[in-house]
């Protein structure tokens, strides 16, 4: 594809899939109909596209060479999370050397396997939507910038030679965390990852998906988090302990990865807990990943 961004946007209360080129949005469903006579029995969303990536990808490539419809300026649409109903959100924990160091954790890669947890799909929000801090739940809400890989092809028992073949695209993911909600003193199980990581609006994502063939090297992308304009995280995906391919290989031993699944690949150093700084109502958080863009979300007090 030619520097094309795959977006979700709302129009008349309906979420639609679009192609963004040079700040012009083209309705993907209309393009498929007019350019290729492709009648589909449901509204075309990016969830539909990525669940059927092998079918859509060749056609998308043709469309991006020359849209036949008239687009609208991006300023005329409201961006939504690129995926609103994905498969499973898999998150890699402690997957950057510098983040492990700031946690005081000694990492010997040869003696460990990647650590994963799940995040609720119901916690997804899109660009410019509010992160709502739930009342009486946590006093230590934190940020984590992550490169997220979107799966486009089924993969089970993969190896390092074919693992990356199932990645259809990449987006920015914010693993918002409630640092003081995860430790459970009423149970003897230690960390409660669900309480720590999954609550309403704790998974901002976007602002779009860049297809994998447009990303030169996903293991060498700059990462930057700003809170109210101040840089908090400044890293690079080359700091991962386990590469994206290694994460996929590990996961695919346990589960069969499906089209539409998301793998958030961990965060670099600079999270708030080790500075004693946490998200507050009125904050603006901006996450930037090289070759993808900027995901911005205001922070407000939630219910």
- Which CA distances in Å does 6 have to 60, 84, 142, 245, 264? 10, 13, 28, 23, 18
Q: What is the pLDDT of residue 57?
A: 92
Mean of the pLDDT values across residues 164-183?
Answer: 96
The domains located in the chain, with CATH, are 5-80 (no CATH), 89-301 (3.90.850.10)
Q: Give the pLDDT band of residue 3 (cuts 50, 70, 90).
A: confident
Segment 83-123, tens digit of pLDDT: 999 999 999 999 999 999 998 888 889 999 999 999 999 99
d(CA 174, CA 297): 10
What strand order describes the sheet that includes 131-133?
A: 131-133, 293-301, 284-289, 222-227, 230-236
Mean of the pLDDT values across residues 152-174?
Answer: 98
Q: What is the pLDDT of residue 105?
A: 85
Q: Cβ(206)–Cβ(78) under 8 Å? A: no
Helix (H) or strand (E) holding 147: strand 145-151
pTM for the whole structure:
0.96
Q: What is the pLDDT of residue 287?
A: 98
How many helices (DSSP H) and strands (DSSP E) are in the chain?
A: 6, 19
d(CA 210, CA 206): 10
Q: What is the pLDDT of residue 50?
A: 97
Q: What is the pLDDT of residue 85?
A: 93
Mean of the pLDDT values across residues 57-66?
Answer: 87
């Amino acid at each position: 594809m030619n520097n094309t961004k795959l977006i979700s946007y709302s129009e008349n209360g309906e979420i639609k899939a679009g192609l963004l080129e040079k700040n012009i949005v083209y309705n993907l469903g209309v393009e498929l109909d007019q350019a290729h006579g492709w009648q589909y029995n449901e509204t075309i969303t990016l969830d539909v596209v990525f669940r059927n990536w092998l079918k859509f990808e060749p056609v998308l490539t043709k469309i991006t060479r020359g849209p036949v419809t008239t687009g609208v300026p991006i300023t005329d649409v409201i961006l939504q999370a690129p995926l609103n109903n994905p498969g499973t959100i898999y998150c890699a924990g402690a997957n950057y050397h510098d983040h492990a160091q700031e946690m005081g954790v000694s990492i010997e890669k040869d003696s460990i396997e990647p650590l994963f947890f799940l995040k609720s799909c119901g916690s997804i929000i899109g660009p410019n939507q509010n992160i709502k801090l739930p009342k009486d739940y946590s006093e230590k809400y934190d940020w984590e910038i992550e490169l997220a890989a979107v799966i486009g092809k089924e993969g089970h028992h993969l190896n390092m030679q074919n693992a990356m073949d199932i990645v259809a695209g990449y987006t920015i993911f914010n693993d918002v965390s409630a640092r003081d909600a995860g430790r459970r003193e009423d149970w003897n199980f230690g960390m409660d990852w669900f309480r720590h990581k999954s609550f309403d609006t704790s998974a901002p994502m976007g602002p779009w998906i860049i297809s994998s063939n447009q990303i030169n090297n996903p293991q060498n992308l700059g990462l930057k988090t700003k809170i109210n304009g101040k840089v908090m995280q400044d890293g690079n995906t080359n700091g991962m302990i386990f590469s994206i391919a290694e994460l996929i290989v590990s996961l695919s031993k346990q589960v069969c990865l499906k089209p539409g699944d998301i793998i958030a690949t961990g965060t670099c150093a600079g999270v708030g807990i080790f500075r004693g700084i946490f998200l507050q109502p009125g904050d603006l958080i901006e996450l930037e990943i090289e070759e993808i863009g900027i995901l911005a979300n205001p922070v407000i007090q939630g219910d």
